[in-house]
Chain A
Amino acid sequence: MQYLLLIYSNEKEIAALNPAERTSMTEEYTEFTKGIIQAGQFKAGDRLKPTSAATTVRVRNGQRVTTDGPFAETREQLGGYYLVDAKNLDEAIAIAARIPGARIGSIEVRPIWPPQT
């Protein structure tokens, strides 16, 4: 089964990390990503630019409405994701728990619909 692991954290808290903490976090992410690639679980993953760089697009009644910022103001913001292949939810949860961001923020584990045949 495929799962999307959505990494949420409070952007202000992340921004407040000092350079040493930031470097340490990056190294941990590199290690983690290597690990799940080796385990054959990694399908994709990226770090997102902060919500200050986000734009929201909606089309209503044929009209395109474009606004500055994320789709909603939330306490934690989406900062990155991993797309993984896992045997079942327990395996996906185990992967999510090892994401460095899980210690600071929240990881949403969302199963993906299998392709319709």
Chain B
Amino acid sequence: MNASRGDQGFEAIFRREAGRVLATLIRLLGDFDSAEEARQEAFIAAVEQWPIQGIPENPGAWLIRTGRNKAVDRIRRDVVFRTKVQGREIASAEADAAAIAEDEDDGTFGDDRLRLIFTCCHPALSAEAHIALTLREVCGLTTQAVARAFLVSEETMAQRLVRAKKKIRDAGIPYETPEPSLFNQRIQGVLAVVYGVFTEGYAATAGSRLVDAELCSEAIRLGRLLDELLPRNASVLGLLAMMLLHDARRGARVSANGDVVLLEDQDRTQWDRAEITEGLALVEQALNVPGQISPYAVQAAIAALHVRAKTKEDTDWPQIVGLYEVLLRLQPSPVIELNHAVAVSMVDGAARALDLVDSLQARGQVSEYHLLHAARGRLLQQLARPHEAREAYLAALHLATLEPERRLLMARIASIDAAPDGA
């Protein structure tokens, strides 16, 4: 037994063990709600007992055993509850629980955690529910922390979680990994959730903060967990690589005032070399898995080309254009098309790029996307058409909700207004 530590030490342990403990308790007790209650009671017991007894050698196993015992006690006390627990007998629950040894290896925990992730990301739940459940149940964030990250009240987030768990219960969403024929499709769903968490942290959609480091860290942690549970999966490796290569630049993206610093203006000495090294290695692995090329791996390869460049002039834009074209064939999307056009401007000039952006806009899918108008503005400025550029920036400003981005757009407009010839 280790010497007892303060509450801060406990919180870190709880965060680390939360997902694993819940996952195992769900398997033992048979449903989400019972398992969550049991986990909560185990945490409370830990806070009471660990200061006295010291932190156990294997905190995870202690929490699981304690949670299971409390749940079994509750089942014994509550006859009505017993008959409602979907036919599970106390005897079988106890037999399962007896199987937990102090030193149960990570193999079993691994399967349970994968089951938990797949359940939280089940297609029958809404996209909002996926993110809320994953952050709360798998990552162990408090409801308050998740609410803060998505700029809703704690009450709203709590309700969202309640509804999601109710859906799991009412609709009979199983706590299982999907069957082989559906596995890949469901994995893509999980990765989309992880990607959603990361992009929300990397480029938030509203509010005053541009980046939320904690969300990026959680997403990367999830990516690492998935890599551990599903090794040599091109999509998982690709997503993890992509997140690391973007996260490496996170510090340089925001100035001291909280303003946006674009890639071309970033101080590259501020980039995290360790994340870059790891990210570059993972891109290689992702691209070398036999079978289908993952769009995440291609996005990671694009990010790799950016970070490999010592200065912005060294950037291999033709390669980047080529990779965007690969990506467009794999996963056409208006946002990718826009990014492709911006890359094209660095190779073939602003006029050609503007044609592509105008064509994209004419097809009508992205007229509400502020970055499209911002990109048009940049290109028009480069083509010495300041009046039209100003209009494009105004259109972008009308749609932009993130404060730092709004400030950047206003600064662009101001610089056009200030220049004698409007350039």
Q: 1/0 per position for B150-184, CB-CB distance to A under 8 A? A: 00000000000000000000111110101100000
Question: Most chain-A CB neighbours within 10 Å: which of B83, B122, B172, B176?
Answer: B172
Q: What band does the interface of chain B fall in when counting residues whose beta carbon is under 8 Å from A?
A: 10 to 19
Residue of B nearest to A90 (CB): B174
A88 within 8 A of B: yes
Give the total of A residues in contact with B, Cβ under 8 Å.
11
In the complex the two chains form, is B124's CB within 8 Å of A93's CB?
yes
Q: With both chains docked as a complex, state the minimum distance between the C-beta of A90 and any C-beta of chain B, in angstroms.
A: 5
Contact with B along A64-107 (1 / 0, CB 8 A): 00000000000000000000001111101100000000000000
CB-based contact A88/B124 at 8 Å: no
Check if B171 sits within 8 Å of A90, measured CB to CB.
no
CA distance A65 to B41 in the complex (A): 54
Which A residues touch B124, using CB under 8 A?
Answer: 89, 93
Interface of A is mostly: mixed
CB distance from A78 to the nearest CB of B (A): 20
How far is B171's CA from A62's CA once the two chains are assembled, in angstroms?
35
Chain B residues contacting A86 (CB-CB under 8 Å) are 172
Partner of A89, one of B83, B174, B179: B174
Nearest chain B CB to A66 CB, angstrom units: 33
| A residues near B173, Cβ cutoff 8 Å | 88-90
From 173 to 210 in chain B, residues with beta carbon under 8 angstroms from any chain A beta carbon are 173-174, 176, 178-179
B83, B170, B178: the one contacting A90 at CB < 8 Å is: B178
Chain B residues near A1 (CB-CB < 8 A)? 172
Q: Is the pair B174, A111 in contact by a Cβ cutoff of 8 Å? A: no
Question: Which residue of chain B has the shortest Cβ distance to A1 in the bound complex?
Answer: B172
Chain B residue contacts of A109, Cβ below 8 A = 171
Residues of chain A contacted by B176 (CB below 8 angstroms): 88, 90
Cα separation A47 to B74 with both chains bound (whole Å): 47
Chain B proximity mask over A49-67: 1 for CB below 8 Å, otherwise 0: 0000000000000000000
Tell which of B170, B171, B176 has the most Cβ of chain A within 10 Å: B171
When chains A and B are docked, how far (Å) is the Cα of A16 from the Cα of B112?
Answer: 50
Neighbouring A residues of B178 by C-beta, 8 Å: 90
25 contacts between A and B (CB under 8 A): A1-B172, A86-B172, A87-B174, A88-B172, A88-B173, A88-B174, A88-B176, A89-B122, A89-B124, A89-B171, A89-B172, A89-B173, A89-B174, A90-B173, A90-B174, A90-B176, A90-B178, A90-B179, A92-B172, A93-B124, A109-B171, A111-B170, A111-B171, A111-B172, A117-B83
Q: Which of A's residues lie within 8 Å of B, judged by CB?
A: 1, 86-90, 92-93, 109, 111, 117
Q: Please give the residue numbers on chain B whose beta carbons come within 8 Å of chain A beta carbons, in ascending order.
A: 83, 122, 124, 170-174, 176, 178-179
